[in-house]
Each structure stands twice: as C-alpha cells, then as structure tokens.
Amino acid sequence: MQHLARRWQRAGLRVGLVPTMGSLHAGHLSLVRRARQSVGKQAKVVVSLYVNPTQFGPKEDFARYPRNFARDAGLCRAAGVDVLFAPGDDQMYPADPRVPFSTYIAEEDLSRGLEGKSRPTHFRGVTTIVAKLFHLVQPTVAVFGAKDWQQAAIVKRMTRDLNFGLKIITAPIVREPDGLALSSRNQYLKGELRTQALVLWRSIQRVRAALRRSARPLLATRMKAGLKEFIERQPDARLDYVEFFEPENLAPVAKITPGTHMALAVFIGRTRLIDNSAL
C-alpha cells in the first residue's frame, strides 16, 4: 500500500481515504462518494477495512463484531473504489515477542469526555490506527462520518497537532427513514430491540422541540434528568451518557442554546449505540 501510494504521489494523483472497520452500509458508501467528489474522477479512492483490536475494551464486542469481507469487497467494487486495503493484525501490530509493539498516539484534550470517559482506552486505539493508515495510504483527503462526532474532532486535532499534510472532511450522518442512524452494530438489533433503538433519535427530537418552545436557554442538568427517564421507559434501554457541548472544542455547557451540540450513548439490550446532532 505504501509503495503504491508513493507511486501515485510521483504521478501527481490526489488520494481520498475512507477508514472503516468493514460491515459496510449506505453510510460508508456516502463517505466513498464524498471522497470521490473531493479528489476528482482522475484521482484514487482507498477504503481501508480493519477491525482494530486496540480501540475495543476488554468487555466490548471485538470478537463478535460483524465481518463479511466478500460482501464489503463487492460494495466497494460497485462504488468505484480503486483500492480496498485490508491489512491483518500481523501487519498493523507486529507480534514479535522479542520486539513488541509499544508505540501509541494519545490525544489528551478532546478525548477526556463523552466516549473517552465511558471507554478509556478507545481513542488511543483510534488515533494510533488512523495515524498508521495516514502513513501507509498518504491521502490528500480523509473522510469520516459525523455519527462519530468526537472521533472526527479528535482526528482533526491530531492531524493539525502532528502536521499531517491532509484535509479531514466530516460527512453528514445517514439515517434510516425512521431516524435511526446507520451503524454496523444495528445488525445486532432483533425484533423489538430495533423499535426501542429509535429512542436515541426521539431523544434528539425531544430536545429540539423543547428548545423551539422555550424563550430561554434550557438547563442541561434538568434536560439530562428528563432524558434519562424518557430513555429508560424502554424496557431494554439503559442510558450510558447524554451530554451537551460546544461543537468545536467539545466543552460541556450548562445552558443549551441554538448551536449547542448533543451526543448520547444508550445500551439497547447488549448493543451500545451512539448518536449526536446540532440543536
């Protein structure tokens, strides 16, 4: 991959990268289209496919995370992807016991709250693997989905702080007709759990409606308490967190006003889902 990327550079070709963990869906394909729009028809678009073990906690779903390489390859081919880069663990994390893998990248500001608080080792794994992908693919542009808002913000900060010479694009969330944000983990939702999962989108709509009705800013503490009660009316739903914050620096706010951003994580049965939106 790195030799190919250098060849493209010598030829003056622009390169768009879409990092994924596979189990592709329409949301991923929208990122591919955005990458192609950004670099042009004569450029190259690379999709990376790697289920990165270092961004999963010890009790998370790494072992059962959905994997279907043949299907993903077909979707990439149909979408006009030039290269599907699917490395293995032995390439990304060399396992020589005499010389163990021991170098990680950790962003230390934006990663402290939200997902970082609930999943303490998650973003160290994300930033490390994304940096490795940037070195290997040498992209001009990399496209990330807005569903992982905090992740995109952290990658932008890493790119700036470590002088990676590329542009980061955050593409909009793609939703089902009923509002559920597309996610590879939606495959876990069977029967009634799928219906209960709509509580994430309905929570966002609930705050939007309250903000429209109110002549004053909303108190974040009061809204959080109300949302917890609203979400946990669903028999299999458990709130992990809901937060209101400034969209650029992720700083929590005490009062919710138009332009505030909202993010939440909810367990629906054993499946942990996330969503976010501008308000």
131-179, pLDDT tens digit by residue?
999 999 999 999 999 999 999 999 999 999 999 999 999 999 999 999 9
pLDDT at 97 exceeding the cut of 90: no
Distance of CA 191 to the CA centre of its chain: 25
Q: What is the pLDDT of residue 95?
A: 81
Q: Which domains does the chain have, with CATH numbers?
A: 2-171 (3.40.50.620), 184-278 (3.30.1300.10)
**Which tokens go with 143?**
């496209």
Output the CA torsion 46→168→43→82 (10° steps). Answer: 10
- Angle of CA points 151, 152, 155, to nearest 5°: 85
Rounded to two decimals, what is the model's pTM? Answer: 0.96
> What is the distance between the alpha carbons of residues 273 and 67, in angstroms, rounded to a whole number?
18
Residue with tokens 């060399």: 94
> What is the distance between the alpha carbons of residues 170 and 242, in angstroms, rounded to a whole number?
21
pLDDT at 110 exceeding the cut of 90: yes
Q: Which of 155, 132, 142 is nearest to 2 (CA)?
A: 132
217-237, pLDDT tens digit by residue?
999 999 999 999 999 999 999
Which residues on adjacent β-strands are paired with residue 263?
Answer: 243, 276
pLDDT at 75 exceeding the cut of 90: yes
**Which tokens go with 162?**
């470590």
User: Among residues 3, 28, 122, 261, which one is catalytic?
Assistant: 28
pLDDT band at 269 (very low <50, low <70, confident <90, very high): very high
pLDDT band at 96 (very low <50, low <70, confident <90, very high): confident
Catalytic annotation present for 28: yes
pLDDT band at 112 (very low <50, low <70, confident <90, very high): very high
Minimum mean pLDDT among 91-95, 105-109, 128-132, 255-259: which range?
91-95
**Which tokens go with 229?**
């009660």
**Which tokens go with 25?**
């869906």
Q: What is the pLDDT of residue 62?
A: 97
Overall average pLDDT of the 96-125 stretch:
95
Average pLDDT value over all residues in the chain:
97
Residue with tokens 């995109």: 152
> What is the distance between the alpha carbons of residues 276 and 174, in angstroms, rounded to a whole number?
12
**Which tokens go with 60?**
């998370």
**Which tokens go with 23?**
């189990």
Q: Side by side, which strands form the sheet with 271-278? A: 237-245, 261-268, 271-278
| Percent of the chain at pLDDT exceeding 70 | 100
